[in-house]
Amino acid sequence: MGKIKSTTRRALTTLICLSFSIITLSARTIEVGEGKAFSSISAALHKAKAKDEILIYGKKIYKERLVIQKPITLKGVGTPIIDGGQRGDVIKVNADNVTIEGLQIQNSARSSQVDYCGVHVKDAQFVTVRNCVFRKNQFSVMFQNCKNGLIANNNISSNITYNPIMGNAVHCWKSDNMHITGNNIGHNRDGIYLEFVNNSHIDHNTVSGCARYGLHFMFSHFNVYNSNRFNHNQAGVAVMFAHNVEMINNTFEFNRGTSSYGLLIKELQYSTIKGNRFLDNTVGLLIDGGSDLNVHHNVIKNNGWGMRLISASTNDTIVHNNFLGNTFDMTTNVSYNRNNVNGNYWDKYEGYDLNKDGYGDVPFHPLSLFSMLAEQNENVLFFFHSFLMNLLDATEKVLPSITPDNYVDNYPHMNPYKL
């Protein structure tokens, strides 16, 4: 009996080793370039089998449009260029387990009716796009109805200034468990756009110079974005109609214009805004219809409006933040408040701390009468830094009750938090 078991075990081991050898032997490396086996990528792709690696050599321009329908790796050596000639998508991916890396991908078609892309991934999972350069595409990278995708360390830019038919740099729709990391993005409509995308992670990206939002969430839940930098975008960042989103250690800066924000929150629930820096924006943070938000340990500095709470934003916890150098620290367009606004540092606070517990003994009213009037009628801003504004400020100090009592920090911190 023992001899039979030993023989069976040896046969099983041999079968496993043989299977592994067959798999290893079946994965080939196919080379494309001058003096290589193939001169065109399309021909190499046609000959390739599942799990093959296609290496593309040289700084050559390949004027081709590719359709990938098998699990392969398409890798550039020396950043060769694939040019779509402004005819449709440059690369279409309709297979699982595909990797595209080390290429410059440019010149998709442009249309006001069809979304053409540099790389268009549809109905696939475990697809990776990394270490690529994207130029002059309508949409650079698009994932539709995908799972477990990776978009990493790409340099993505387009020419929206010269061509109004422009899409987003990274566009994900109806996808799950996406990871978007380490990308340098600029000069598109939206930098990163997520719609119906859940359980995803967006981190360590830099997005600047976009015509609309640096990052745009719509109907996307249970996502985390952290350690990103969004600057000089026309409208900043928007998170809309979502819940359970974590926004941690990001920088929102120099997003300026009549309708610009560092971060715009619209109908967001059960989410965290922590450790972020809102610097030199028209509005640092706008919360419109946010509820059950935890906003803490952020630096809100040198903005026109530090924070605007509007349209029944309720049950929000706004604590342990630094408000520094803002024209208006906080404004609202409603008279009631069900938010916890305590324990923040306000550089405009002139109170005292007799018991030396680190918190002011006199409550601070972050809403100024002038800011409330400006919220109701923007023409009031013509009187900014005027005698009238100074008179209103002086009146508030004598009669603080003229601003809403329910917008009060009862425990203002005496010194800035080390954030």
Instruction: Read off the pLDDT of residues 35-93 as tens digits, 9 standing for 90 and up.
Output: 899 999 999 999 999 999 999 998 899 999 999 999 999 999 999 999 999 999 999 99
pLDDT at 238 over 90: yes
Evaluated on CA atoms 65, 80, 100, 141, the torsion sign reads negative
pLDDT at 173 over 60: yes
Report, as an integer, the average pLDDT of 187-197. 96
Would you say residue 10 lies in a domain? no
Specify the pLDDT at position 331. 87
Report, as an integer, the average pLDDT of 180-185. 99
Instruction: Please give the Cα distance from 235 to 215 (Å, whole number).
Output: 10
pLDDT at 24 over 80: no
pLDDT at 266 over 90: yes
Would you say residue 332 lies in a domain? yes
Question: Counting Cβ atoms within 10 Å, is residue 29 exposed (0-12), middle (13-18) or buried (19+)?
Answer: exposed
Residues 6+ apart with CB under 8 A from 268: 239, 240, 241, 242, 243, 245, 287, 289, 290, 291, 293
Tokens describing residue 291: 């509820």
Cross-strand pairs, 314: 291
Q: What's the pTM value of the predicted model, to 2 decimals?
A: 0.87
pLDDT at 16 over 70: no
Look up tokens 């359970």; give the residue. Answer: 244
Would you say residue 109 lies in a domain? yes
- 207-226 core/surface letters (b: 16 or more CB in 10 A; e: else): bbbbbbbbbbbbebbebebb
pLDDT at 385 over 50: no
Report, as an integer, the average pLDDT of 249-276. 95
| Percent of the chain at pLDDT exceeding 70 | 83
Tokens describing residue 133: 């350069």
Of 223, 328, 335, 215, the C-alpha closest to 270 is 223
Specify the pLDDT at position 235. 87
Of 33, 118, 40, 130, the C-alpha closest to 84 is 118
Instruction: Please give the Cα distance from 91 to 45 (Å, whole number).
Output: 12
Would you say residue 199 lies in a domain? yes
**Domain span at 354:** 51-402
Tokens describing residue 315: 């049950």
pLDDT at 17 over 80: no
Would you say residue 14 lies in a domain? no
Looking at per-residue pLDDT, the higher value among 256 and 94 belongs to: 94
pLDDT at 1 over 80: no
- 84-96 core/surface letters (b: 16 or more CB in 10 A; e: else): beeeebbbbbebe
Instruction: Please give the Cα distance from 272 to 295 (Å, whole number).
Output: 6
* 386-409 pLDDT tens trace: 555 555 555 555 555 556 566 899
Would you say residue 11 lies in a domain? no
Cross-strand pairs, 137: none
Per-residue pLDDT band for 241 (boundaries 50, 70, 90) equals very high
Q: How many structural domains are present in the chain?
A: 1
Would you say residue 12 lies in a domain? no
Of 24, 78, 28, 81, the C-alpha closest to 54 is 28
Would you say residue 59 lies in a domain? yes
Query: Within 13 Å of residue 68, how many CA atoms lie on the same side as its CB?
Result: 29
pLDDT at 282 over 70: yes
Instruction: Please give the Cα distance from 121 to 139 (Å, whole number).
Output: 12
Highest mean pLDDT among 18-22, 162-166, 412-416: 412-416
CATH number for the domain harbouring residue 89: 2.160.20.10
Of 10-14, 221-225, 412-416, the poorest mean pLDDT is in: 10-14
Looking at per-residue pLDDT, the higher value among 25 and 256 belongs to: 256
Which uninterrupted H or E stretch holds 274? strand 261-274
Question: Counting Cβ atoms within 10 Å, is residue 386 exposed (0-12), middle (13-18) or buried (19+)?
Answer: exposed
Report, as an integer, the average pLDDT of 147-163. 88
Look up tokens 């967006």; give the residue. Answer: 202
